[in-house]
């Protein structure tokens, strides 16, 4: 089954939430099961919307979830729980 964009965004934000609010791009790619180039396009979109910040840390890209990103994560988690109660996944 193909994942929805909402599901992919939730998974990407989840990686950061589970890791204290930040994660490397390689960690996000691995844990969210995304090809690196596709993940970077998504992260750039999320950064433009103010949901994450991409920083350089000793030559590595570090992605930090913003307050706005945490708010979206909470809403997506809530919607996923409700849909799950009805046997629906996003």
Which regions of the chain are under pLDDT 50? none
Q: Name which CATH class applies to 5-85.
A: mainly alpha
pTM of the entire predicted model: 0.93
pLDDT confidence of residue 75: 98
Alpha carbon 49 to chain centroid, angstroms: 13
d(Cα 39, Cα 76) in Å, to the nearest integer? 19
| Domain extent listing, the chain | 5-85
pLDDT confidence of residue 69: 98
pLDDT confidence of residue 19: 97
DSSP string, 10-40: HHHHHHHHHTTTEEEHHHHHHHTT--HHHHH
């Amino acid at each position: 089954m193909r994942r929805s964009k909402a599901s992919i965004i939730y998974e990407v934000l989840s990686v950061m939430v589970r890791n204290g609010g930040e994660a490397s791009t390689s960690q996000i790619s691995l844990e969210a099961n995304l090809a690196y180039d596709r993940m970077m396009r998504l992260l750039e979109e999320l950064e433009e919307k103010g949901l994450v910040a991409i920083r350089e840390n000793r030559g590595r890209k570090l992605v930090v979830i913003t307050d706005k990103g945490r708010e979206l994560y909470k809403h997506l988690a809530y919607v996923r729980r409700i849909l799950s109660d009805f046997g629906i996944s996003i």
